[in-house]
Amino acid sequence: MTIKVGLFGFGRTGSVVAGEIIRDSECELEWVIRQTPSHHNEYASNLLGFDHLEGKIIHFKEVDFDQFFKENPVDVIIDFSSSSAVSEYASVVKHGCKIVSAISNYEKNDFEQLEMLSQQTAVLYSPNITVGINFLMEASKLLQKIAPHADIEIIEEHFRGKKDVSGTALRIAEQLGLDKNEHVNSIRVGGIVGKHEVVFGLPNQTIRIIHESHNRAAFGQGAIYAAKWIMGKEQGLYSMEEALSLMMTQSNSPQQEPIAIR
């Protein structure tokens, strides 16, 4: 069954994610909604160099969202836009659509709205939707159990233009029970896509667990994995850790396909 996808955001990340969705044989990019008016009614596929027409680009001011979702139904919305977009697609849950949100830093009221939507449909929210970073989080939690007295610092590195502190780093701090104001160190240089390092300091050794995204396609592959995983889920708020930890715990069972990290 082909999964019909609606994408919010076509910026640094969304434009790359769109390409991954178009390339995926099990997904069809139905439309892309964004705040930027350029390329309205053009196709993401053409802008990305594909020959066929897929993923019509829609300027968000040109649509009545409720009418739009009724006339252009999708199975899942993938959100790589901004915190405020959740209010635009709130009505989509009436049509049974699932949600994968990759917004890294939500305003409080926007996240509360996303939580409300999860009472009506399945919502997967992940500030870092790569398979690798979620493995880093599981590995860090395991190491903290083994070395409970270690000093721990989190270092996050991103491109110069990223204004907010990494939502991933804040999530790692939360998972490790660390004060995010004390133990998250940010570096903003050049065009770094995203690097997260958890440093465990012991008296006689230092252990570093590092994940680095080299290409935003990693976020697209993670979002597609999440979209496929959430298809069979009932309403509720899910995390990428849950999606992956279930796979990781079942990964040695013969009927489970191991995670194909590409």
Ligand X SMILES: O=C(O)C1=N[C@H](C(=O)O)C[C@H](O)C1
Ligand Y SMILES: NC(=O)C1=CN([C@@H]2O[C@H](COP(=O)(O)OP(=O)(O)OC[C@H]3O[C@@H](n4cnc5c(N)ncnc54)[C@H](O)[C@@H]3O)[C@@H](O)[C@H]2O)C=CC1
Q: Looking at 67-75, 102-110, 149-157, 204-212, which segment touches ligand Y (CB under 6 A)?
A: 102-110
Element (H, E) at 84: none
State the binding partner of 19 from ligand Y, ligand X, none, CB within 5 to 8 A by kind: none
Instruction: Please list every residue from 154 through 193 that binds ligand Y, using CB under 6 A.
Output: none
Strand order in the sheet with 206-213: 184-188, 151-158, 194-201, 206-213
- CA proximity to 188, closest of 216, 205, 166: 166
**Which residue in 121, 128, 134, 144 binds ligand X (CB under 6 A)?**
128
**Phi, psi dihedrals of residue 239, rounded to the nearest 5°:** -120, 165
Count Cβ neighbours within 10 Å for each residue of 203-228 and write b for 16 or more, e otherwise. eeeebebebebeebbbbbbbbbbbbb
Total residues contacting ligand X by CB under 6 A comes to 10
Question: Residues 140-179: x/- map of binding to ligand X (CB under 6 A)?
Answer: ------------------x---x---xxx-----------
State the binding partner of 91 from ligand Y, ligand X, none, CB within 5 to 8 A by kind: none
- Dist CA 111 CA 73 (whole Å): 24
CB–CB of 112/89 below 8 Å?
no
Tokens in use for 72?
A: 């252009």
**Which residue in 104, 118, 134, 221 binds ligand Y (CB under 6 A)?**
104
Total residues contacting ligand Y by CB under 6 A comes to 27
CB–CB of 97/69 below 8 Å?
yes
- Dist CA 214 CA 116 (whole Å): 34
* Catalytically annotated residue among 4, 39, 40, 162: 162
Residue 201 touching ligand Y (CB under 6 A):
no
Would you call 214 a catalytic residue per the annotation? no
Q: Looking at 4-12, 139-147, 181-189, 230-238, which segment touches ligand Y (CB under 6 A)?
A: 4-12
Question: Residues 215-234: x/- map of binding to ligand Y (CB under 6 A)?
Answer: ----x---------------
Would you call 158 a catalytic residue per the annotation? yes
- Dist CA 235 CA 96 (whole Å): 10
Nearer to ligand X, 43 or 225 (CB): 225
**Which residue in 132, 194, 220, 222 binds ligand X (CB under 6 A)?**
194
Residues in the chain: 262
Tokens in use for 144?
A: 């903290």
Tell me which residues touch ligand Y (CB under 6 A): 8-14, 33-36, 60, 80-82, 84-85, 88, 102-104, 126-130, 219
Active site residues: 158, 162
